[in-house]
Amino acid sequence: MAKSEDPAKASDPIAPRADAASALGASILLTGDISGDEDLVLRGTFKGAIRLRNHSLFIERGANVEADIEAASVAVSGSLTGNIRAAGRVVLSSDARMKGDITAAKIHIRDGAQFRGSIKMAEGRA
């Protein structure tokens, strides 16, 4: 009998690759602007702006982010106050808490997520 996949992971449309992402640790507090050419995982507290035009941003459970974000794709499991502009998709997990506007080609809001803002569908890659 074949081993079945974890349904939570199987339905996750975007997930970080540990070997291709930078990370801000859970105990870190950072204020400023971030831009780069690799994926980014946020576990701590960040205030500012994030520009990852061709890469993904992952806001993990327990992270606290106040930022306007521009990225290829964004996955939120923590707390975000700010706007997202994504060329691809945005995923709000069941643990996500977001206040702000989303502009993206594809948006997935899972049951249990808290979202207050507006959504604008944009042309782009999904």
Percent of the chain with pLDDT over 90: 77
How many domains, the chain? 1
Full domain range(s) for residue 93: 31-121
- Identify the band that residue 8 occupies on the pLDDT scale cut at 50, 70 and 90: very low
What's the number of CA atoms in the CB half-sphere (13 Å) around residue 29? 0
Is 38 within a domain? yes
Specify the amino acid at residue 74. Answer: V
Over residues 10-39, mean pLDDT = 79
* 30 three-state secondary structure: strand
Residue (of 45, 57, 112, 110) closest to 83 by Cα position: 57
pTM of this prediction?
0.84
Using only C-alpha atoms, the chain has a radius of gyration, in whole angstroms, of 14
Is 62 within a domain? yes
- Whether the per-residue pLDDT at 126 is higher than 60: the answer is no
What pLDDT, on the 0 to 100 scale, is given for residue 21? 82
Contacts of residues 108-114 at CB distance under 8 Å and 24 or more positions apart, as own/partner, are 108/13
Is 80 within a domain? yes
44-76: pLDDT as tens digits:
999 999 999 999 999 999 999 999 999 999 999
89-100: pLDDT as tens digits:
999 999 999 999
Is 111 within a domain? yes
Is 4 within a domain? no
